[in-house]
Structure 1
Amino acid sequence: MAALRVLELYSGIGGMHQALRESCTYAEVVAAVDVNTLANDVYKHNFPNTPLWAKTIEGITLQEFDRLSFDMILMSPPCQPFTRIGLQGDVADPRTKSFLYILDILPRLQKLPKYLLLENVKGFESSSARNQLLQTLTTCGFKYQEFLLSPTCLGIPNSRLRYFLIAKLHHEPFSFQSPGQILTRFPDQDPEDLLKEKVADKVGETSFSLSSEEKNLDPNIGPDCSSKKNLPKGAFLFKLETVEEMERKCDQDNDSSIQMLKDFLEEENEEMSQYFLPPKSLLRYAFLLDIVKPICRRSTCFTKGYGHYVEGTGSVLQTAVDVELESVFKHIDNLPEEEKLMKLSTLKLRYFTPREIANLHGFPLEFGFPEKVTVKQCYRLLGNSLNVHVVAKLISILLE
Structure 2
Amino acid sequence: MGPVRVLELYSGIGGMHQALTESCISAEVVAAVDVNTVANEVYKHNFPSTPLWAKTIEGITLTELNRLSFDMILMSPPCQPFTRIGLQGDVSDPRTNSFLYILDILPRLQRLPKYILLENVKGFETSSARDKLVETLKKCGFKYQEFLLSPTCLGIPNSRLRYFLIAKLQSELFSFQTPGQILENFPDQEPKASVKHRVAAGLEKESCFMPPKEEYIDPNSGSDGGSGQCSQKEAFVFKLETAKEMEKKWNQDSNLSIQMLKDFLEEDGEEMSQYFLPPKALLRYAFLLDIVTPSCRRSTCFTKGYSHYVEGTGSVLQTAEDVQLQSVFKSIEMLSEEEKLMKLSTLKLRYFTPREVANLHGFPPEFGFPDKITMKQRYRLLGNSLNVRVVAKLISLLTG
TM-score, with structure 1 as normaliser: 0.92
Does the CA-based 8 Å contact 2:328-2:344 persist in structure 1? yes
- Residue 245 of structure 2 aligns with which residue? 245
- Residue 5 of structure 2 aligns with which residue? 5
- Residue 203 of structure 1 aligns with which residue? none
Q: CA–CA distance in 2 between the matches of 1:10 and 1:149?
A: 20
Q: CA–CA distance in 2 between the matches of 1:47 and 1:188?
A: 32
Q: Say yes or no: does 1:386 pair with 2:386.
A: yes
CA offset at residue 226 of structure 1? Answer: 4.2
CA offset at residue 305 of structure 1? Answer: 0.2
Aligned match of 1:218 in 222, 226, 229? 222
TM-score, with structure 2 as normaliser: 0.92
Q: CA–CA distance in 1 between the matches of 2:141 and 2:174?
A: 14
CA offset at residue 251 of structure 1? Answer: 1.5
CA offset at residue 192 of structure 1? Answer: 3.5
Q: CA–CA distance in 2 between the matches of 1:230 and 1:392?
A: 39
Q: Say yes or no: does 1:157 pair with 2:157.
A: yes
Give the gaps of 5 or more residues in structure 2. 197-213
The code of the aligned residue for 2:76 comes to: S
Q: CA–CA distance in 2 between the matches of 1:66 and 1:26?
A: 21
- Residue 87 of structure 2 aligns with which residue? 87
Q: Per the alignment, in what secondary structure is the counterpart of residue 271 of structure 1?
A: helix
Equivalent residues in 2 for 1:270-289, closer than 5 Å: 270-289=270-289
CA offset at residue 227 of structure 1? Answer: 2.2
- Residue 331 of structure 1 aligns with which residue? 331
Q: How well do the aligned residues superpose, as a CA RMSD in angstroms?
A: 1.9
- Residue 117 of structure 2 aligns with which residue? 117
Does the CA-based 8 Å contact 2:219-2:240 persist in structure 1? no
CA offset at residue 218 of structure 1? Answer: 2.7
CA offset at residue 239 of structure 1? Answer: 1.5
Q: CA–CA distance in 1 between the matches of 2:233 and 2:346?
A: 28
Does the CA-based 8 Å contact 1:150-1:161 persist in structure 2? yes
Equivalent residues in 2 for 1:100-179, closer than 5 Å: 100-179=100-179
Does the CA-based 8 Å contact 1:302-1:313 persist in structure 2? yes
Does the CA-based 8 Å contact 2:233-2:326 persist in structure 1? no
Q: Per the alignment, in what secondary structure is the counterpart of residue 173 of structure 1?
A: coil
The code of the aligned residue for 2:367 comes to: F
CA offset at residue 244 of structure 1? Answer: 2.4
Give the gaps of 5 or more residues in structure 1. 197-207
The code of the aligned residue for 1:259 comes to: Q
Aligned residue pairs, count: 380
Does the CA-based 8 Å contact 1:289-1:315 persist in structure 2? yes
Q: CA–CA distance in 2 between the matches of 1:69 and 1:189?
A: 35
Q: Per the alignment, in what secondary structure is the counterpart of residue 116 of structure 1?
A: strand
Q: CA–CA distance in 1 between the matches of 2:300 and 2:167?
A: 29
CA offset at residue 133 of structure 1? Answer: 0.1
Sort the Cα spacing of 1:260 and 1:215 in 2 relative to 1 into closer, same or farther, 3 A: closer
The code of the aligned residue for 1:18 comes to: Q
Q: CA–CA distance in 1 between the matches of 2:9 and 2:272?
A: 35
Q: CA–CA distance in 1 between the matches of 2:231 and 2:47?
A: 52
Sort the Cα spacing of 1:150 and 1:215 in 2 relative to 1 into closer, same or farther, 3 A: closer
Q: Per the alignment, in what secondary structure is the counterpart of residue 118 of structure 1?
A: strand
- Residue 268 of structure 2 aligns with which residue? 268
Does the CA-based 8 Å contact 1:153-1:193 persist in structure 2? no
Q: CA–CA distance in 2 between the matches of 1:75 and 1:227?
A: 49
Does the CA-based 8 Å contact 1:7-1:32 persist in structure 2? yes
Does the CA-based 8 Å contact 2:5-2:71 persist in structure 1? yes
Q: Say yes or no: does 1:341 pair with 2:352.
A: no
Sort the Cα spacing of 1:372 and 1:351 in 2 relative to 1 into closer, same or farther, 3 A: same
The code of the aligned residue for 1:20 comes to: L
- Residue 29 of structure 1 aligns with which residue? 29
